Each structure stands twice: as C-alpha cells, then as structure tokens.
Copies of this chain bind each other. A is one copy, B any other.
Amino acid sequence: MYRTHTCGELRIENVNETVTLSGWVQKARDLGGMTFVDLRDRYGITQFVFNMETNAELCEQARKLGREFVVAITGKVAERESKNSKMSTGDVEIIAEKLEVLSKSALPPFTIEDDTDGGDELRMKYRYLDLRRSCVRENLVMRHKMGIEVRNYLDQLNFIETETPVLIKSTPEGARDFIVPSRMNPGEFYALPQSPQVFKQLLMISGFDRYYQIVKCFRDEDLRADRQPEFTQIDCEMAFVEQDDILNTFEGLTKNLFKKLKNVDIDYDFPRMDYATAMEKYGSDKPDIRFGMEFVDLSVIAKGNDFKVFDEAEYIGAVCAEGCASYTRKQLDKLTDFVKRPQIGAKGLVYVKYNEDGSFKSSVDKFYSAEDLQKWSEACNAKPGDLILILVGDKKSTLSQLCELRLEMGTQLGLRDNNVFKPMWVVDFPLLEWDEDSQRYHAMHHPFTSPKAEDFHMLETEPGKVRANAYDLVINGVEIGGGSIRIHDTDLQAQMFKHLGFTDEEAKAQFGFLMDAFQYGAPPHGGIAFGFDRLASLFAGIESIRDVIAFPKNNSGRDVMIDSPSTIADEQMVELGLDYRKE
C-alpha cells in the first residue's frame, strides 16, 4: 500500500498513529541534526522529520532527496512544537521511520510554486509540471465542479444530456471548419462541429423537449488570447418556449453557479438591455456594467462653433471620468496615444477638465467658451473634479473607440474588480448584418434565428432593421453565452436562406435534412450556448481561457508539449487518397 492518508489529511487527532504518505518532495532542509521534508500531493503538504541522532542511516537517505522526487514515507504522527497555522496539517509533523523512493526527479526547468520563475513558453512545454502548481490545478478543480453543478442543475429541470456527433458535415456558412478525410469514403470529408446547432434542433423535432450537452466545439480561425481551436460549450435547447422562458431558465442556472462556486448571491433579476441601447451607451454588445461612465451624445449641443472637426463629425461622444480633472498633461497624452493606437484608430482625443474650483480647462478652449463647456458638463452629469473625454468621427467607429476608452478609464480608476460580478442580458440583436466583402447580408447569429414578429414586414424592404429573437448573456464585459429562438417553419426558413443569398440548391445541399425535418412537425424552440472556458476563467478571476484548459494550444494552434500538429507517414496519405498540393 502506497499510503494510508493523503498529505492534506492529518490533524492533531491523529497524533501517535503510524501512517504512510506518498507524494512529491516540495522541499527538504537540514537544521541542526534534523532534516525536514515537506511532502506534497493534490490535497496538501505534510512535514516529515528525520533525526540524525536517532536514525542516522534514514536521515542520510532523506538528505539525498531532491525536489520533486516521488517518495513514500512511513512514520508516527507527532504534535509540532512550532505550529504552522497557514497549513491545514500545520499542527502535526511525522517522525519518519521508513523512506522509499518511488521515482527520482531531474531538476525541474522551473520552480513548482504558485509564484514560479518559469515563463509562459517553458510552462507550456512542460505543462505537466505547470499543472503541479496548486494555483493552476485549483482552476481545473473549479472547472470540474462547474461541470458537476451545471449538470445537477439542468438534470433537476429535466434536461437530457445527449451526445451529438463529432464527425459531421462541412458547411461553408460561419467560421472555417476543421475537416477529417474519410478513408472508407475516398474523396469525402467529415467536418468537426463548430457547434451542435443543427443536431440540437433535430432533437427538439424529435421531442426531446429539453437538451443540453457540455461539448467540445472546433473553429479553424486565427487565434487570439481568448480563442482556442477547440473549446467547450454548455449547449442547450428547449421546446415550446419563448425568449423569456430561456432567459429565466438560464438566469437561474447562472445564479446557481455563482452561489455554488463563488458563494455569491445574486438576488436581483439580471438587467436586460436591448442591443441598440448597449451600442449607444457602451459602444459594445457586451458592456461591462461594473461601472457607469455611459456615453453622452454631444452631437447636437457641441456643434456650430466653427470647430471643423466637430462640425463635420457624424457623431460626438463623451464619457465622464469621475475625479480625473487632476490628470496631468502626461497622463492625457498617454490617453491620446492609447486611442490613437492602430487597433483603436481614433484621430485624437478632446478633453474637458471640470476643475474642483468650478473652472474649465479643455483642449478646445479656442472654440468653446466656459458656458459651452458648462452645458457639456451638464449633459454629462459631471461634477467639479471630473474629466470629460470626447471622441468624434463616423458614429460606428467612434462608438467602438469610445468603448475602448471607457474600459481603459474603468481599469485606471479600479472599477473593474474581478471579484465583482455584473451579469446582464443583451437582447433584440439585429437579425442580419451587412458584409462588405461579400456584398450581402449575413446572419448575425446563425441562419436559424427567428426574426421578431413585429419586424417581419421589413425583411424585404429594410432587412438591416429587422431585429431577431436573439440574446446574449454578458458578465463583466465578457460574452458568456448567446442564443436565440429558432425558426420552426419550413417556409420561413426557406425565405431566410434566400435572404442570406443561398440558392435553393445550396440550401438543400447543406441543410436539406433540417428542412426535411421541419416538414414532420417542428415545435417552437430556442436555446443558448455558454462558453464553458470563458465562464471558468471568469470564475477563476483570470483573463485568458488558456489557464482553465489542461492542455491548451498556443497562438499558432500548436501544442508545444506534444509537438502537434506534426507530419504523418506517407502511407497514411496514400490510404486517404490525398497528396500535398504542389504550388
């Protein structure tokens, strides 16, 4: 037997018991005639004592132990003289009687401590060692608990977890598919699912009524910090529901997760904001509402003073940063540089300081009087001591730039605390969005999303104005989930495909089976999908989803630990009827 207890288990009650523990040597140190060994496993750390006087041979053995050696040690539990209240096992130590080295360790390439000396790349290459660090492992334990809690909650509500296939069919709509050549059907390919969308709708047509699945999905996209080629979704669908049913059900799930995983009670209804308002007030369909600083539209009141930049702008937008009138020239220049960064793209930044003494100082004093600025500050609800920041230009770009500026100010003012959670629903998304590249409308959500009944008459005449029964769950400025009420009518679905520029043949080739299925009695239905990785990183209080994935890939889609992707044997290519393209 390798152990009688784990390294996190022994307490003062166990004194005088003879125990065996197994684990990794966290550290060993000699002190006088003694050697102290801290033994670590997933459950904790326990201190062992080897005494040169009473057992020289054993103590000599202990002195040969290196960090990360795997050992089994037997001994008697004793009360510690100097207790360590920081460790759960800190009241006791074990007087070692027997030591067995189960496995030696080379010197690890970085220290196995929460505060490690290993850089990102090294830790990814030796991810199995990085995972030994308790701060990393705890994130994955939390992720595990998240899965358990999601399942228990949905199980109680009669949802059936149903596995849908991973080897499916490639469709050109949406992001790029990963494809899998079929050996048994040469020249043909499976695709990996970007989501189980079609299958969950089929399950509703099958009468499954309530479906969910925690499921891997795949997108062959260029990667960013919060994207991975494979990611996990909580995928859900319900029949005989309207939008409110979905929102209420999954608001319940979300509150339950906050309670169970963070011990946070959210005892109010999540605010619901329509897309248009979110764009107008926050320049984003995923506003961070941990703080206010909503946009103020100065387009009307700030024009007409011969300041060309303002007079010619489609939109003049402001945010009011509380207590920032004291910002220095240097700080303001830094903010200007921030908004002028290519990825943000503003041409410049106008500021108005509403000084504590009631006076104004702005970068446009040449054009505007104190009375003008007073009006602006009233529009912005500014108080003495506040700083008004203004961006101008075409409305769409300016809203988006102002969003970045607002978030930056929120960060600078410490208003984006990772331990504060502000969930909300964004609703009434547009059904379609115009794509400049292909010069046609694309489904904003996906082609199965239903238009709002009251907007339906505009589908022919003003397609861009039609709103959808679509919604996102946004927490702290992160899109955690999104979904829609689906079309459940063949004719309407056919009409949608037409609007999205599909020919009848294309629609039939790609979604024929779904259109067929609609003919046999489809219930009204809708659903939602949560980003499991994003939700986990939110709960873990970290930015990147990589840290809540056991074996993530880097920005080039590589797993640097296993060195994948890699070349394959020629015979594999032959079997699949494939060749490398010569060009």
Contact = CB atoms under 8 A, between A and B. Distances in A.
Interface of A: 1-3, 6, 22-24, 40-43, 68-70, 72, 102-106, 108, 126-129, 131-132, 137, 140-141, 143-144, 147-148, 151-152, 155, 160-170, 172, 176-185, 187-192, 198-199, 202-203, 205-209, 216, 218, 220, 222, 229-230, 232, 240-242, 488-489, 512-513, 516-524, 549-551, 553, 556-559, 561-569, 572-582
A580 B578 contact: yes
A571 B359 CA distance: 63
Given A68-B521, A167-B564, A520-B108, A205 B128 contact: yes
B169 A564 contact: yes
Given A140-B162, A148-B161, 7 more contacts: A105-B521, A126-B520, A144-B160, A166-B216, A167-B229, A168-B559, A178-B190
Given A42-B207, A187-B580, A521 B169 contact: no
B164 A551 contact: yes
A179 B69 contact: no
B218 A184 contact: no
Nearest to A210: B42
A240 B72 CA distance: 9
Contact of A105 (B2, B519, B575): B519
Number of copies: 2
Contacts of A23: 207
Contact of A566 (B127, B188, B488): B188
A163 B218 contact: no
A283 B490 CA distance: 57
A230 B167 CA distance: 8
Contact of A565 (B108, B188, B558): B188
A21 to B, nearest CB: 9
Nearest to A20: B240
26 contacts: A22-B523, A23-B207, A41-B207, A43-B209, A68-B520, A103-B522, A105-B521, A128-B206, A137-B208, A140-B160, A141-B160, A143-B162, A144-B160, A148-B151, A148-B155, A167-B564, A168-B559, A169-B559, A172-B569, A176-B183, A180-B565, A184-B220, A188-B565, A191-B568, A513-B563, A579-B582
Contacts of A137: 206-208
A207 B524 contact: no
Contacts of A568: 170, 179, 189, 191
Nearest 9 interchain pairs by C-beta = A131-B206, A105-B521, A169-B564, A188-B565, A2-B240, A182-B565, A68-B521, A42-B209, A128-B202
Contacts of A176: 183, 575
A180 B180 contact: yes
A184 to B, nearest CB: 5
A178 B222 CA distance: 23
Contacts of A232: 163
A553 B168 CA distance: 10
A573 B580 CA distance: 10
Nearest to A564: B169
B144 A162 contact: yes
A40 B207 contact: yes
A520 B129 contact: yes
A203 B127 CA distance: 10
A418 to B, nearest CB: 24
A580 B580 contact: no
Contact of A103 (B187, B203, B206, B489): B489
Nearest to A190: B565
A556 B155 CA distance: 35
A104 B230 contact: no
A524 B2 contact: yes
